[in-house]
């Protein structure tokens, strides 16, 4: 997605060979017009696949997910990192956080994910894929159908994307980035 790649180049900050900061437009401050364009791009890529629900994980996936839900006219569910006291019956999965070197649980109420759901999973970033794997585990527990995964920025230097594609899962990443000598390289051009 050309406009996204241009925005990453103009407003992204390379902090190290592994850290690309995009908090001025994607995951702290957010540009709603860009998110709408991103949603339209996912609509195009997943056209005809029969998506009936968008699932993401709090917090930075929510803005993208709601825009895609708005464009596709389907409901959006976000996996919670803390189970509310009012949530009685739920699916849960454990996710390992590499940045914090610890596990955390995510959960979705059984009311909002079931065998009738055909799901697109979306998130802002994909690196090792541990959060996405947690969400896929919830979908599997609910016996819902995973249509595919939509990612805004995939880190091409980590293997999360490769593992998902090798499993035969349809993964659409709008920008696949790699940092080389403090420069941002894109591994995709469509």
Q: Note the residues at the interface with a second copy (CB under 8 A).
A: 15, 19, 21, 23-24, 28-33, 35-36, 58-59, 62-63, 65-67, 69-70, 73-78, 80-81, 84-87, 99, 108-109, 111-112
Kindly tell me which of 115 and 168 has the beta carbon lying closer to a second copy: 115
Distances (CA, A) of 22 to 8, 54, 152: 7, 23, 11
Q: Tell me how crowded residue 14 is: count the other CB atoms within 10 A of its CB.
A: 16
Minimum distance, C-beta of residue 5 to a second copy, in the bound complex (Å): 20
Enter the DSSP assignment of 112.
G
CB of 166 to a second copy, least distance (A): 30
CA distance 140 to 113: 10
CB 66 within 8 A of CB 111: no
> Which residue in the block uniquely carries the two structure tokens 């051009």?
189
Q: How far is the CB of 60 from a second copy (least distance, A)?
A: 8
User: Among residues 24 and 157, whose Cβ is nearest to a second copy?
Assistant: 24
Measured from the CB atom, the residue of 32 and 44 that comes closer to a second copy is 32
Using alpha carbons only, how large is the chain's radius of gyration in Å? Answer: 16
* Choice between 87 and 163, CB closer to a second copy: 87
């Amino acid at each position: 997605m050309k406009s996204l790649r241009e925005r990453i180049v103009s407003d992204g900050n390379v902090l190290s060979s592994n850290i690309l900061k995009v908090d001025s437009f994607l995951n702290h401050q957010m540009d709603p017009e860009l998110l709408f364009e991103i949603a339209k791009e996912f609509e195009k890529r997943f056209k005809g696949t029969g998506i009936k629900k968008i699932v993401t994980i709090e917090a930075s996936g929510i803005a993208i997910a709601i825009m895609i839900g708005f464009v596709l006219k389907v409901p959006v569910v976000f996996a919670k990192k803390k189970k509310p006291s009012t949530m009685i019956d739920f699916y849960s999965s454990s996710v390992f956080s590499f940045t914090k070197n610890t596990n955390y649980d995510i959960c979705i109420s059984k009311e909002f994910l079931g065998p009738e759901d055909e799901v697109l999973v979306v998130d802002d970033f994909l690196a090792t894929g541990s959060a996405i794997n947690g969400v896929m585990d919830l979908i599997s527990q609910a016996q819902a159908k995973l249509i595919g995964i939509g990612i805004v920025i995939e880190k091409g230097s980590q293997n999360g994307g490769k593992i998902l594609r090798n499993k035969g899962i349809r993964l659409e990443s709008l920008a696949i980035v790699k940092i080389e000598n403090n420069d941002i390289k894109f591994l995709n051009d469509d």
